[in-house]
Homo-oligomer: A and B are copies of this chain.
Amino acid sequence: MKVSIYIAQSLDGYIARPDGGLDWLEHDAGDDDYGYHAFMAGVDVIVMGRGTFEMVASFGGAWPYAVPVVVLSTTLREIPEALTDHAQLMSGAPADVLAALAAQDYGHVYVDGGITAQGFIAAGLVDALIVTTLPILLGQGKPLFGAVPADIHLSLVSCEGFASGVTQVRYNVG
């Protein structure tokens, strides 16, 4: 089983403005998708927190994911009727969640969202980290990274700059 994080941040490490705003992500990427579709083509299941799920659901329109989504929440009672074909609820520690997904034969797990990603990183359960950085300083917001119980060492896989000014680094963890 492989656990990956693929996420975008500002240069100062925020994944959203303090109010959750993502307007700053909008930019002219030209023909680049920063490897997103190639990455998603290898993903079997997406794990996200309630915040990210509700944000994605709020966008309306077609559901954006082709693979099942697992929503981690202790407060959400149920997945909205319209999305029950796409998403299921789960709760528990990251290791328990992965054990449940392994039991369902999922091979490659994409962990999305700030708090959720932080929890999996802190638990030492992330294998690959792909961080796409936009050329902007926001000064405040929701941070990508959080506390860890001890230093976490990473192994650089690649570092790439794009014409849009976006950069992307890929690491293996450990």
Contact = CB atoms under 8 A, between A and B. Distances in A.
Interface string A127-149: 00001010111111000111111
Given A135-B171, A171-B135, A156 B166 contact: yes
A85 to B, nearest CB: 36
B137 A155 contact: no
Interface in A47-62: none
Nearest to A129: B11
A159 interface: yes
A41 interface: no
Nearest to A149: B139
User: When A and B form their complex, which 3 residue pairs have the shortest distance between CB atoms, in order from nearest?
Assistant: A159-B161, A139-B148, A12-B145
